[in-house]
């Protein structure tokens, strides 16, 4: 799995999946969400626009590709067509600081 904030490969450290470069460990909840993101088929893109401003540069946790912003303002991977959900983005921005 790749870090969605810098595209570095995540490392298992003391039972916690960690971005070493960004000094960011994942909570069990975010790890579960990102594992689902990688394991499940891509979600169908909703026509509803996100009410949150998720601006910023994100990387696909599955393949490390830089993500593009969809018409609904969600980050989407151009390689695998997966989108980062509001739940993933909220956890990343509010609960997981990255250097």
Note the helical H segments in 44-85: none
For residue 43, the tally of other CB atoms under 10 A from its CB is 14
Position 46 scores a pLDDT of 61
For the residues 73-80, what does the mean pLDDT come to?
Answer: 90
Higher pLDDT, 50 or 55: 55
Q: What integer best gives the mean pLDDT of the chain?
A: 89
Question: What's the predicted TM-score (pTM) here?
Answer: 0.87
For the residues 17-43, what does the mean pLDDT come to?
Answer: 93
Quick one: pLDDT band at residue 4, thresholds 50, 70, 90?
very high
- Residue 34 pLDDT > 80, yes or no? yes
């Amino acid at each position: 799995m790749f870090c969605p904030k810098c595209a570095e490969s995540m490392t298992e450290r003391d039972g916690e999946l960690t971005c070493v470069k960004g000094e960011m460990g994942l909570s069990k909840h975010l790890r579960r969400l990102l594992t689902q993101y990688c394991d499940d088929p891509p979600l169908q893109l909703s026509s509803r626009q996100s009410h949150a401003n998720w601006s910023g540069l994100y990387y696909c946790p599955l393949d490390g590709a830089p993500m593009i912003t969809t018409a609904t303002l969600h980050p989407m991977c151009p390689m695998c067509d997966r989108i980062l959900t509001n739940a993933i983005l909220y956890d990343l921005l509010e609960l997981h600081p990255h250097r």
